[in-house]
Amino acid sequence: MVMRRVFLAVIVILMGFGCAGDPPELRQGPEAVEAGLDEIMANLVDGQYFDAEWQGKSAVLKIDRATDDFHYEKAVGTANYGSEAPMTVDHQFMISSITKTFVATLVLQLWEEGAFGENGLDSTLSELGVFDPAVLEVLHVYEGVTYGPDITLRQLLTHYTGLGTGWAGLMPDGVTGLGDVFTGHFECYLDPDCDTASLATNKTWARWDPARPFDADAGLFNNFISAQRQASTAVAKPGEKHTYRDLNFWILAIVVQELGDQPLYKAFREKIFDPLGMDHTYMNYTQDPEEDAHRVALSDFYAGDVPVITSGFNFSMDWAGGGLATTVEELSRFHRALIDGRLFKHPETYDEMRKWHGEPLVEEGYIEHVGLGYFTTDVDGVPLDGHTGFMGAFMFHDAETDTLLSGTINKIPDEIFFVIIGDILRVLDGQTVVHSSTDLDAQTTSTN
């Protein structure tokens, strides 16, 4: 479960956060806490985690803790491959799967407006009439039975559709084979005799063309639907099993576009970005010059030592599953507005978003709960609400202390990501942080 979430862009992390009965305030002075956080940030780029076997290139962290008015903001490392220019808190970064929370926000706004009819979030795709019946017929086939028309918005939002990977026609090995794909693309980038423009990893995908639903080259969702005609990738009946898929949010994005009568990126701009003054947040690969103008300082993220942004790897396939870029301040601003209910007509709509569905997902010492484009993880009774992303981004809220943690390590995470977030929480709780792998083994055992 842990590695699946790591490689599918949703890593929900928590390790040891205080003891029962501790007051919701800093147990050290702010100077000591800042010094501890500074040490963690420095260690992210100088190889001190796991005896220097893991090393990042850049990172950004922002913490806002309302209970004692504590604020922290820091950037470390270099922003882009081939440059010594330092990473700053103003640099943009890809937030990958955190994009799903933004899509869910648009869906809930439409729900408030009554766009889904009397069944609301439990409306089926058939009832919504967004897709042609022929598309729904092949969308989800499991054990010879068609379930596409019966999939509900709530099942899409909670990843309980049972759908398979949306990338079946693009990458047969899915995200598990991305490491080799990144490496191959970078090797071409470094080779003067290799033209990256000729690579499939440089293709900018259209999103969805309903006029040519089964034309595999017409768009990203078209490619999936075309592949489903040959062999369904569904893994369970709708409502039966939690299966995290970007595909669920491609479908939700098409619903938003059709019922809102505008492209997804324009809906983001009109309903979220502009109202919150998020001028440095945008969706990649829109092919709209006005939207591209919001890209001002995008930092690299790394897969191993491969600088994915600089090498020109095209992530248009992320789209509604992970296509947004932003700054740490604007990511935190969005999360605060979401929590405060300022993006909805009714504040209780946020409560609907964090209403947990299905059985808790238990794995390696923590319990994870699934909401509507939103997650919480509970370790030793302490929950963090939010979302994470494949490229190392995170957006968390501790409701008890009203603490927001936002940022990125700009590197595809592995197990060390758990340690980083855990160390941050320990420093906030006034605890000692260790970094060697020997001490880490003992610390992880005692924590879990």
How many whole angstroms separate alpha carbon 432 and alpha carbon 426? 7
Q: Are 44 and 12 contained in the same domain?
A: yes
Q: What is the pLDDT of residue 261?
A: 95
Q: Are 106 and 197 contained in the same domain?
A: yes
Q: Are 204 and 59 contained in the same domain?
A: no
pLDDT along the chain (448 residues), means of 10: 36 31 56 91 81 80 92 97 96 97 98 97 98 97 97 98 77 64 89 88 90 94 92 94 94 97 97 98 93 94 91 89 97 97 94 88 71 81 85 92 94 80 85 56 37
Q: Got the DSSP string for 41-99?
A: HHHHHHT-TTTTT---SEEEEEEEETTTTEEEEEEEEBSSTT--PBP-TT-BEE-GGGH
Q: Are 189 and 286 contained in the same domain?
A: yes
Cβ within 8 Å of residue 283, ≥6 positions away: 264, 265, 268, 291, 319, 323, 324, 325
Whether residue 406 is contained in a domain is answered as no
How many whole angstroms separate alpha carbon 220 and alpha carbon 243? 20
The pairing of beta strand 366-370 with beta strand 145-146: unpaired
Q: What is the pLDDT of residue 322?
A: 94
Whether residue 376 is contained in a domain is answered as no
Q: What is the pLDDT of residue 16?
A: 30
Q: Are 22 and 124 contained in the same domain?
A: no
Whether residue 104 is contained in a domain is answered as yes
Which of 288, 322, 356 terminates a domain? The answer is: 322
Whether residue 400 is contained in a domain is answered as no
The answer to whether the beta carbons of residues 86 and 78 sit under 8 Å apart is: yes
Structural domain total, the chain = 2
Q: Are 132 and 192 contained in the same domain?
A: yes
Residue 357: helix, strand or coil by DSSP?
A: strand
Q: Are 35 and 67 contained in the same domain?
A: yes
Q: What is the pLDDT of residue 2?
A: 35
Q: What is the pLDDT of residue 442?
A: 43
Q: Are 29 and 136 contained in the same domain?
A: no
Q: Are 73 and 185 contained in the same domain?
A: no
Domain hosting 8: range is 1-77+417-448
Whether residue 280 is contained in a domain is answered as yes
Q: Are 36 and 178 contained in the same domain?
A: no
Whether residue 386 is contained in a domain is answered as no
For 293-422, strand residue ranges (E) read: 302-303, 306-307, 324-326, 357-363, 366-370, 375-379, 382-388, 393-398, 403-408
| 364 residue type, one letter | E
Q: What is the pLDDT of residue 383?
A: 81
Q: Are 17 and 147 contained in the same domain?
A: no
Whether residue 358 is contained in a domain is answered as no
Whether residue 328 is contained in a domain is answered as no
Which of 280, 300, 322 terminates a domain? The answer is: 322
For 220-301, strand residue ranges (E) read: 282-283
Which of 322, 345, 378 terminates a domain? The answer is: 322
Q: What is the pLDDT of residue 12?
A: 31
Q: Are 291 and 440 contained in the same domain?
A: no
Instruction: Quote the tokens at residue 407.
Output: 């940022």
